[in-house]
Amino acid sequence: MAAKRKLVRVRSWNVNGMRAVAQKGFLDWLAGSKATIVGLQETRALPEQLEPTLREPPRWRTHFSAAERKGYSGVGLYAREAWSELVTTLGDETMDAEGRLQLARFGRLWVANVYFPNGSGKDRSNDRVPFKLDFYRRLFDALEPLRRGGGRVLVMGDFNTAPAPIDLARPKANEKTSGFLPEEREELARWTAAGWVDTYRHFHPAREGAYTWWSQRFGVREKNIGWRIDLVLASEGAMPFVRGASIHPDVTGSDHCPIGVDLDGAALD
């Protein structure tokens, strides 16, 4: 009898600053997560600014893509498996300068760790929405050959968009707020119409109160007045291997909480 394959646990977390979350138990969470692949967003640090134990924990392979602007944006990847390819560019200088992408291949599985732009802009003017939508479209186009070819692809991270009214506590009050604007939701809906699957909603189609981000105003998280803006999308080629999707609101240390999917280990073969 063939040995049963282990699950591949993939986790994503907007940590709102690597150096800050390191002081709030990040390495303990990482060790206890039993994760295979972890993607972090909003790391806000250059690799050399991180303590060695954070930058390269034992038995983890790591990579960080930082923004040119100090203390801004950035993504990080921690993995138990070795990746064979790693791409950090979309071919646009302005977008690439913000350090928002890591696309890594683990065997036959591709994992995109992405920190999508926030459209709010200065003084919540929504003036960054066009840039945000351009980023979405450029990434969609970059991944489309993989998806269309039947590739096993996960796109995870802080999408900065709540897909539907069920995904935020106060949808009516936020119809003119970036993160729930019609044009932002339409762009995300274009992805799912093309075949990308919102893994959490696949397994929990009607679950209310499932949020991943809360304002840092006093009492908001305790009252669960939140948004589900952190997602894992799976291509049609990856979806048959996905065994479950989860949100972990009990994990603190950031204004976001971790999310994830578990896959059959055969996804890598």
pTM: 0.97
- To the query of whether residue 255 is one of the catalytic residues in this protein, the response is no
Catalytic entry in 28, 134, 158, 198: 158
Amino acid at 6: K
Q: How far apart are CA 96 and CA 65, in angstroms?
A: 10
User: Tokens 């790693």 identify what position?
Assistant: 86
Q: How far apart are CA 114 and CA 138, in angstroms?
A: 13
Q: How far apart are CA 268 and CA 245, in angstroms?
A: 18
Walk along the chain (269 residues) and give the pLDDT tens digit of each residue. Answer: 444 568 999 999 999 999 999 999 999 999 999 999 999 999 999 999 999 999 999 999 999 999 999 999 999 999 999 999 999 999 999 999 999 999 999 999 999 999 999 999 877 889 999 999 999 999 999 999 999 999 999 999 999 999 999 999 999 999 999 999 999 999 999 999 999 999 999 999 999 999 999 999 999 999 999 999 999 999 999 999 999 999 999 999 999 999 999 999 999 99
DSSP 19-69: HHHHTTTHHHHHHHTT-SEEEEE---S-GGGS-HHHHS-TT-EEEEE--SS
Classified by CATH at the fold level, domain 7-268 comes out as Deoxyribonuclease I; Chain A (3.60.10)
Q: Coil, strand, or helix at residue 265?
A: helix
Q: Tell me the H-state helices in the chain.
A: 18-22, 26-32, 52-55, 93-96, 129-148, 182-194, 199-203
The domain segmentation of the chain, as residue ranges, is 7-268
The crossing angle, in degrees rounded to 10, of helices 182-194 and 129-148 is 0
Name the token pair of 206: 């009607």
Q: How far apart are CA 246 and CA 262, in angstroms?
A: 9
Q: Which residues contact 95 (CB under 8 A, 6 or more apart)?
A: 134, 135, 138
Q: How are beta strands 109-115 and 101-106 bridged, if at all?
A: antiparallel
